[in-house]
Chains A and B, each alone.
Chain A
C-alpha cells in the first residue's frame, strides 16, 4: 500500500544496433520505498543506478516489469507534480542565469509567479548561490551546477526527491550543507531517494539502503539492522594492567595496542566481554571503555559486492 516508489521485476535492455548483441542492464529489480524514508541506492560503477533512476523519472521506459511512482507508471506526467529530480553530473541551459533557470523550472509546474519569486529566493539562499543568481550558467563551476540542480529539484516543494549522486563535485563544506538539506527534508516528512558512491556520507544520512550490482539487487533494508547484524569486534579499553592481565586479554583479542597509558583489546567475540571483565577484576587494572565495533557501510558494501563477483 501507498509506496512512494515500487519497482517490480524491472528490466532494461539496450541494443545499439539491431545486429549488436542485446545488453541487459537491469535484470529484474524489486524495490520498495516507503513515505518518509531516506533511501540510499548504492552500487559500483555501471551497476545500473542511473538507469534505474532514469526509468523512475520517465526519461527511459522499462523493457520489462514495472516502475511505479506514487502508484502510477513512471512515464506518466501526473505523479511528477510531486517529484523533484537532480540528474547525474547535471548540465543546464548555458544561456540562462541561475535565477532565470529556477523561474523556468517553476513555470513547468505552473507555480504562481508570486510564490515562485519567493521560493526562488529561498532556494538560492539554501544552496548558497545568491551571489551567482544573475550569472549565466555557462560560467558556473561543477559544484555550482550541482547546487543549482538541487535548488531546481526542490522548486515544487516535492514529496519525493530523487538525487543521482548529489554529493559528487562538492567541496567538504558543500557536502555537509547537502547532507543537512537532505536531513531537513526528512524532518519535513519528505521521501528522499538518492544514489551515491560516498559511503561514509551516505551512512550518515540514510535510514534505508539498497545495494545493486550488475543490474541485480544484492541487499536492501534498514541500515542499522544490516550493519548491526554483524558486530565485528568489541573494543575493550583498560589501563594500569599487570603483565598477566595483558597476556590473558591478548589471548581473547585479535591484536593488542597501547597508546600511552591506555591499552586496547579488540575482542574476538561479543560473548568474551564478561570474561575480560573477570580477568581485570582478578588480576588488577581499570576498565576505561567497552565499545562494540560495527561494520561500516563501506566495509559492508565491499563485502557484499565481492561476494557477488
Chain B
C-alpha cells in the first residue's frame, strides 16, 4: 500500500511542479473572465448561465487535463527510462499502474475542487447565495474524468501521447454520444451492423450515465438511485480498464 501511495504522491508532485497544469489554470481564468464579462449582457438568469458555463468549463478543462497529462504519464516513464528504477525494485507492475492512476486522480480532484470553488464564488457574488446544487454535478464531473483518466492511462501504456490523446478524446466524444448510438441501433434490423453498434455501446464509456448537469441548472431534487448507479458504473468501468492495461503491461519489455 505504502508503495502505491509513494508512486501516487510522486505523480501528484510531478503534476504540481509541471507547467501544463498552470497553463490550464491560466486558461480557466481566461474563461472565467470572459464569462463574467458576457453575463451582464444577458438579461436576468445571470446565475443560470454562469452555472451552465461553469459546469461545462469544469468538465471540459479537467477532461483536457486528464487527456494531456494522463496520456503522457506512463509513456514518459518508459521513454525516459525512469521506469527502470521502479521495475528493478520490489514493486508489482500493477501497483505501479495503480499508483500512477491514483496520483493523477489526486491531481484531477484538486483541480475540480479548485475550479468548483472559483465558480461557486462567482455565483455567490452574483446571486448572494452559495450554490450547493453545484456540488453534486461537480462530483459527477469527477466521475467522468476518472473514467477518462483510466482510458488515458490505457493508451499511455500502449502508444505515444499524441496518438493516445487523440484516441482518448475520440472515445470521450463517442462516449458522450453513446446513447444515440444505441437508439440508432435499435432502429436497425437485426444483423451484423446492429450487433457491432450494440457492442460499441457497451464498450464505450457511457458518459450519459454520468450526467446530472441539468439538475443543477434547474435546481431539481437529487435522484439518489441515479447517483449510485453512476458510481457503480464508473467504478466497474475503471477497474476493467485498469485490469486490461495491467494485463498488457505485465510482460512488456522496456527499452
Residues of A within 8 A of B (CB): 54, 57-61, 77-78, 80-81, 83, 85, 87, 90-93, 95-96, 100, 104-105, 107-110, 152, 156
Contact = CB atoms under 8 A, between A and B. Distances in A.
B3 A96 contact: no
B40 interface: no
Contacts of A59: 83-84, 87-88, 253-254
B90 A77 contact: yes
A91 B82 contact: yes
Contact of A95 (B14, B84, B251): B14
Contacts of B80: 91
Interface string B74-95: 0000001111111111111000
Given A59-B87, A60-B253, A77-B91, A87 B81 contact: yes
B90 A108 contact: yes
A85 B91 CA distance: 14
A111 B85 CA distance: 16
B6 interface: yes
16 contacts: A54-B254, A57-B84, A59-B84, A60-B253, A77-B90, A77-B91, A78-B90, A80-B90, A90-B85, A91-B81, A96-B13, A104-B6, A105-B89, A108-B89, A109-B89, A110-B3
B69 to A, nearest CB: 13
Contacts of B253: 59-61
B47 interface: no
Contacts of B17: 95
Interface of B: 2-3, 5-7, 10, 13-14, 17-18, 80-92, 251, 253-254
A80 B2 contact: no
Residue with the highest number of chain B CB atoms closer than 10 Å, among A104, A108, A109: A108
B253 to A, nearest CB: 4
Contacts, number: 71
Contacts of B251: 61
A93 B6 contact: no
Given A59-B254, A61-B253, A80 B85 contact: no
B18 A92 contact: no
Contacts of B88: 57-59, 80, 83, 85, 87
B85 A87 contact: yes
B125 to A, nearest CB: 36
A108 B91 contact: yes
B240 to A, nearest CB: 24
Nearest 3 CB-CB pairs, A to B? A107-B6, A60-B253, A85-B88
B6 A108 contact: yes
Contacts of B82: 91-93
A77 B93 CA distance: 9
B85 A152 contact: yes
A60 B254 contact: yes
Contacts of A60: 253-254
B2 A110 contact: yes
A131 B89 CA distance: 27
Nearest to B92: A77
A92 B13 contact: no
